[in-house]
Amino acid sequence: MCGIIGIHNHPEAATLAYLGLHGLQHRGQESAGMVTVKDSGLQCHHAMGLVADIFSQDVIDRLQANHAIGHVRYSTYGESHIKNCQPFLVNSMLGSMAVAHNGNLVNATEIQKKLEEDGAIFQSTMDTEVIVHLMAKSRKKKFIDRLKESLCQVEGAFSLLFLTKKKMIAVRDPSGFRPLVMGKKKDSWIVASETTALDLIGAKFVREIEPGEIVVFENGDYKSYRLAENLPKRSHCIFEYVYFAKPDSHIFHRDVYEVRKGFGQMLAKESQVDGDIVVPVPDSGVPAAIGYAQESGIPFEMGLVRNHYVGRTFIEPEQSIRHFGVKLKLGAVKNIIEGKRVVLIDDSIVRGTTSKKIVRMLRDAGAKEIHMRISSPPTKWPCFYGIDTPTRSELIAAKKSIKEIRNYIGVDSLKYLSVDSLYWFEKQSQREWFCDACFTGKYPVGSDVISNLI
* Side chain identity, residue 309: Y
pLDDT at residue number 329: 84
* 237 catalytic residue (yes or no): no
Whether residue 259 sits in one domain with residue 215 = no
CA atoms within 13 A on the CB side of 181: 26
pLDDT at residue number 81: 65
Q: Is 0.85 topped by the overall pTM?
A: yes
What backbone phi and psi angles, to 5 degrees, belong to 391? Answer: -65, 160
Whether residue 267 sits in one domain with residue 191 = no
Whole-angstrom Cα distance, residue 211 to residue 225? Answer: 11
In a domain, 446, yes or no: no
Whether residue 402 sits in one domain with residue 284 = yes
Whether residue 263 sits in one domain with residue 208 = no
Contact at 8 Å (CB) between 326 and 357?
A: yes
What is the CATH number for 266? 3.40.50.2020
pLDDT at residue number 325: 67
Domain of 281 in residue numbering reads as 250-440
In a domain, 194, yes or no: yes
Chain centre to alpha carbon of residue 66: 27
In a domain, 453, yes or no: no
Give the closest residue to 97 by CA, choosing from 47, 158, 33, 165.
165
In a domain, 174, yes or no: yes
In a domain, 145, yes or no: yes
Whether residue 289 sits in one domain with residue 393 = yes
CA atoms within 13 A on the CB side of 55: 28
Could you tell me the CA-to-CA distances from 112 to 106, 119, 134, 146 in Å, in that order?
Answer: 12, 11, 9, 18
* Domain end call among 188, 205, 232: 232
Sign (positive or negative) of CA dihedral 317, 323, 325, 329: negative
In a domain, 280, yes or no: yes
Q: For the chain, what is the domain count?
A: 2
Whole-angstrom Cα distance, residue 400 to residue 114? Answer: 40
Whether residue 209 sits in one domain with residue 68 = yes
Cβ count within 10 A of residue 257: 18
Whether residue 78 sits in one domain with residue 37 = yes
Query: CA angle at residue 268 from 280 to 179, to 5 degrees?
Result: 65
Whether residue 39 sits in one domain with residue 185 = yes
Q: What's the length of the chain?
A: 454
pLDDT tens by residue, the chain, 454 residues: 799 999 999 999 999 999 999 999 999 999 999 999 988 789 999 999 999 999 999 999 999 999 999 999 986 555 566 778 999 988 877 788 999 999 999 999 999 989 888 887 788 778 889 998 999 888 898 999 999 999 999 999 999 999 999 999 999 999 999 999 999 999 999 999 999 999 999 999 999 999 999 999 999 999 999 998 888 889 999 999 999 999 999 999 999 999 999 999 999 999 999 999 999 999 889 999 999 999 999 999 999 998 876 554 444 444 445 556 677 788 999 999 999 999 999 999 999 999 999 999 999 999 999 999 999 999 999 999 988 777 898 999 999 999 999 999 999 999 999 999 999 998 877 888 999 999 999 999 998 889 888 7
* Domain end call among 232, 260, 293: 232
In a domain, 241, yes or no: no
Of the residues 2, 85, 383, 438, only one is catalytic, namely 2
Report the phi/psi class of residue 305: left, alpha or beta, with left for phi > 0 and alpha for psi in -120 to 50: beta
Strands (DSSP E) along 312-427, which ranges?
330-332, 341-346, 369-374, 413-416
Whether residue 216 sits in one domain with residue 164 = yes
Whether residue 258 sits in one domain with residue 205 = no
pLDDT at residue number 315: 44
Contact at 8 Å (CB) between 36 and 42?
A: yes
Whether residue 197 sits in one domain with residue 330 = no
In a domain, 310, yes or no: yes
Chain centre to alpha carbon of residue 296: 30
Whether residue 402 sits in one domain with residue 263 = yes
* Domain end call among 177, 204, 232: 232
Query: CA angle at residue 350 from 346 to 352, to 5 degrees?
Result: 80
What is the CATH number for 74? 3.60.20.10
